[in-house]
Structure 1
């Protein structure tokens, strides 16, 4: 297999229904890519579904011995990866062709820490909702404190940063914590405002329970070191943006 430029990390638990589409969208990318599927002790036919694609030669299937959760599963994938860049893709989402190529070019041109894209919201059956969530062209640490506009399945970042800032606190928005830690050094995010990510809405996702998601967002600010008052102020900003985003 050609040495990968991008390692795609895909955690999955009981994802046989959707993972095929996610895998196919990775295989359709036109940069040297490896896909690491981290199976978090699935009890359905996820493994059999993944095996159907193994002939492509650039998929590695890793099964956890115990349930580790999304954050630790992603971290395991990052440690096993070989690419210069890391991309994350949840097993029920998928990408448009050309996503990774556009992001690699953007990162090398701008020197940004993270590259994100816009996303189209999809129904559980894969049909569009007709809603699109854009992303700003440039996002700083202070921008991100006010509003997490970076979806995990849209991200490309350097492997060295993914190793240095692993995802923690699965009881919160673990990806948001990581983005904040990376940007705290003074870097920035570049957004590609195209719907390269197709984001499938699911009833079981963390963000679908708005009250629970809100509580976890407040906890993010506490985890990155802010006191109760500042955390509350950041949370208010998050709430205002959330109403606008899903209006």
Structure 2
């Protein structure tokens, strides 16, 4: 196939229950793309439910020989990608139609290297919970330090930038660390304040254990180079935003 404009990276671990909806939402986008599913050594029927797409030239399936975690799986997908842009989508989330086209147009207009969107929160069974998480149309590094308004499954960014800043520290919020590093260098990110992402509140996600998530968020600031006092101040702002977001 010709080189696609967008490479969609979808890490999955035991995702047979939800991944078909995620895949269908990718192939309903009206842009040139490829989908790379990185199976992180699943023990369920994930590979079997993906069989209907296996003969497509724009579908690529990789299975890790051992469990690498989300960060390692995404990084491997970025290395294997052929597109100019990278989009991340977790296997239990899905996109609304037109998401990638809107983001490509937005980045073309701003000249930024990264774009995120707003998101509707969904229950584990996929029904709306009636809560929308907005995103600002322009986001700075200083603003991102106060709270992470960039959800990984909403992101579109240049592949060269994804290669420059691979995701690290799976014991923390690895995506948040990456967004901070990118904005510290490039200054701004673009936001589209529309619910293009349907974000499933899975029971096993990192953010569902609030105490663990709090420790991981504090560790984010330490990993990007801040001392204990500044890290604590940034964490307090993050915590207040979190209370408002999920109230």
User: Which whole-Å CA distance do the structure 1 matches of 2:80 and 2:51 have between them?
Assistant: 19
Q: How far 1:215 moved relative to its partner?
A: 0.6
- Tell me the residue number matched to 1:119: 119
- Tell me the residue number matched to 1:3: 3
- 1:57 is paired with a residue whose SS is coil
Deviates more, 1:29-38 or 1:108-117: 108-117
- Tell me the residue number matched to 1:160: 160
Residue by residue over 1:107-161, the C-alpha shift from the partner in whole angstroms, topping out at 9 and shown as x without a partner, is 1110112100000000100111011000011110000001100000000000000
* Contact 2:113 2:186 (8 Å CA) reproduced: no
Number of paired residues?
Answer: 247
- Tell me the residue number matched to 2:182: 182
- Tell me the residue number matched to 2:217: 217
Q: Which structure 2 residues correspond to residues 1-247 of structure 1 after superposition, within 5 A? A: 1-247=1-247
Deviates more, 1:43-52 or 1:193-202: 43-52
- 1:52 is paired with a residue whose SS is helix
User: Which whole-Å CA distance do the structure 2 matches of 1:2 and 1:121 have between them?
Assistant: 35
- 2:169 is paired with a residue whose SS is coil
- 2:185 is paired with a residue whose SS is coil
- 1:184 is paired with a residue whose SS is helix
Residue by residue over 1:162-203, the C-alpha shift from the partner in whole angstroms, topping out at 9 and shown as x without a partner, is 000000000000000000011111421111000000000011
Runs of 4+ with deviation above 3 angstroms:
none
Structure 2 segments unaligned to the other structure (5+ residues): none
TM-score (structure 2 length as normaliser): 0.99
User: Which whole-Å CA distance do the structure 2 matches of 1:126 and 1:6 have between them?
Assistant: 26
Structure 1 segments unaligned to the other structure (5+ residues): none
User: Which whole-Å CA distance do the structure 1 matches of 2:186 and 2:146 have between them?
Assistant: 16
User: Which whole-Å CA distance do the structure 1 matches of 2:55 and 2:26 have between them?
Assistant: 14
* Contact 1:117 1:155 (8 Å CA) reproduced: yes
* Contact 1:84 1:158 (8 Å CA) reproduced: yes
* Contact 1:2 1:32 (8 Å CA) reproduced: no
TM-score (structure 1 length as normaliser): 0.99
